[in-house]
Amino acid sequence: MTADGRGSAVPEPDYRDLLASVTAWVEGPGEEWAGRIEATGTVPDALWKELRGAGFLALAAPPDLGGRGLSFVQWMGLMEVFSRSHASVRMIVHVVNGTWRAMNPHAEEAQRRRFVRPSVAGDLLVAFTLTEPGNGTGADITSSVRRAGDTYYLSGRKHMITFGVRCDYWLLFARLEGSTGSGGTVALLVDRHAPGVEVEDTSDTMGVRGTDHASLTFTDTPVPVANRIGAEGDGLAVALGGFLTPSRISVAMSCVGLAQRAQQLAVAYSLERTTFGKPLASRQAIAFALAENAADIAAARALTLHAAQAWQDGAVDAGSLSSMAKLTAVDMLTRVTDKALQVHGGIGYWKTMPIERVYRDARAQRFEEGTNEIQKAVIARHLFRRSDAAAADDAGPAKAPAPAGAPTVLE
């Protein structure tokens, strides 16, 4: 068993039963919750309690952390179904079933007892807190800490932090004061109620209604050194090492699930809507659009499962494949939801139609876990490195030069 749970799995009959129960929940109570969330713009505590009680927040983690112990490929099968539900439901299960992957490989046993296991159980909500308003999401972070004895004092700003309002802790990434590069970064669990923190609720978004987001300002906020995950200098390794690749694959599968929901709605509407005495489904233009959607979804799903298997197996190209899957799936989702809305005609633009929410929610996937431009840079860097390594092998001991202009973004 590895710290990221890649050695875990449940028997196939148990998995099929679990898949059936998740599907039944998504198509039943999940749809009722979707209506309530859209009507109020908030996710009530009762939904969190229901998801936790059903065990849906502890599916992906290994049994030694209190999880169900699904393999990563099995977990992606459930994410596909959850993603057909409201985007806030998908966001909850995606985040809570994922943040332990960042913490666990670097945590001490006392930190597992205090933070990781309660997070897996859904008793403690940890918000991933990396993005800053004036920087990217890599070694250029500027939020900083200075250490005095057993306490760090944190200053800086973070924004677009999912669950940053309602969380118990922020899993926050900063740098040691005066340091540069990734070597000076630290990962800290910052108490949501620590002094010196200003929390601004920025939850009024186009889609993914109900999921809270926050902008955060820290001014000499005290953080115990005991709340540091990993060593000084490990901050970006915690943030990106065991978390980003599987999270990108999960987002890709979220695109697949949401596209399936859009397609389901479009197919049903094309069969029930009649124009000039014939159902829309009999119109070749409509039929071809839905056929294109079906092929598009199947192709993205296959690539995403391929990336999931690669990460589960520890393949060296899993990082590149995760970016390929995310890039492909998010572009697919854009095409599928646009055609699905077009099939509905003007009525699809009204909020009374489920496709309207699906269309809005789909746009958010283009930003989550990196834009398409970032994914292309990651893929290109992998291609250049592979070519560089092949050239070095052909040349013998001397290393071939890197190509000019090769991307240098963090994966």
Among candidate residues 276, 303, 281, the one with its CA nearest the CA of residue 291: 281
pLDDT tens-digit series, residues 141-164: 999 999 999 999 999 999 999 999
**122 φ/ψ sector (left φ>0, alpha ψ -120 to 50, else beta):** left
Question: Which pLDDT tens digit goes with each residue over 58-76?
Answer: 999 999 999 999 999 999 9
CA dist 346 and 330 (Å) reads: 24
Alpha carbons 140 and 150: distance in angstroms, whole number: 26
Residues 176, 183: Cα–Cα separation, whole Å: 9
Beta carbons within 8 Å of 397's beta carbon, 6+ residues apart: none
pLDDT tens, residue by residue, 263-278: 999 999 999 999 999 9
Give me 218's structure tokens.
């820290």
Residue 21 identity (one-letter amino acid): S
What is the model's pLDDT at position 397? 55
Q: Can you list the positions of beta strands (E) in 149-273?
A: 151-162, 169-176, 185-191, 197-201, 213-224, 228-229
Enter the DSSP assignment of 376: H
Report in angstroms the alpha-carbon separations of 14 from 1, 9, 11, 208, 345: 20, 10, 5, 31, 42
Cα(338)–Cα(290) distance, integer angstroms = 11
Helix runs in 41-155, H state only: 45-53, 72-82, 87-96, 99-103, 109-111, 117-121
**Cα-flanking dihedrals φ and ψ of residue 214, to 5°?**
-140, 150
> Is the CATH code 2.40.110.10 the one for domain 126-233?
yes
Tell which CATH classification among 3.40.1160.10, 1.20.140.10, 3.40.50.720, 3.40.50.1110 matches the domain 243-391. Answer: 1.20.140.10
Tell me, what's the pLDDT at 240?
84
What is the CATH architecture of 12-121? Answer: Orthogonal Bundle (1.10)
Tell me the C-alpha distance between 181 and 233, whole Å. 9
For the stretch 351-363, pLDDT in tens is: 999 999 999 999 9
Bridge partners, residue 198, by sequence: 217
Given a contact cutoff of 8 angstroms between Cβ atoms, the answer to whether 130 and 235 are in contact is: no
> What are the sequence ranges of the domains in the chain?
12-121, 126-233, 243-391
Which of 389, 293, 295 has its CA nearest to residue 337? 293
Structure confidence at residue 61 (pLDDT): 95
User: Strand, coil or helix: what is 106?
Assistant: helix
Q: What is the pLDDT of residues 333-353, one digit of tens each?
A: 999 999 999 999 999 999 999
The residue behind tokens 């919750």 is 33
* Crossing angle (nearest 10°) for helices 29-40 and 45-53: 160
More confident residue, 140 or 397: 140
Average pLDDT over residues 225-232: 97
The catalytic residue positions are: 369
Tens digit of each residue's pLDDT (9 = 90 or more) over 385-406? 887 777 777 666 544 444 443 3
| Spatial separation of the C-alpha atoms in residues 109 and 112, rounded to whole Å | 5
Report the predicted TM-score, pTM, of the whole model to 2 decimal places: 0.91
The owner of tokens 């669990």 is 189
For 168, the 3-state DSSP assignment is coil
Task: Judge whether 270 and 290 are in contact, CB under 8 Å.
Answer: yes
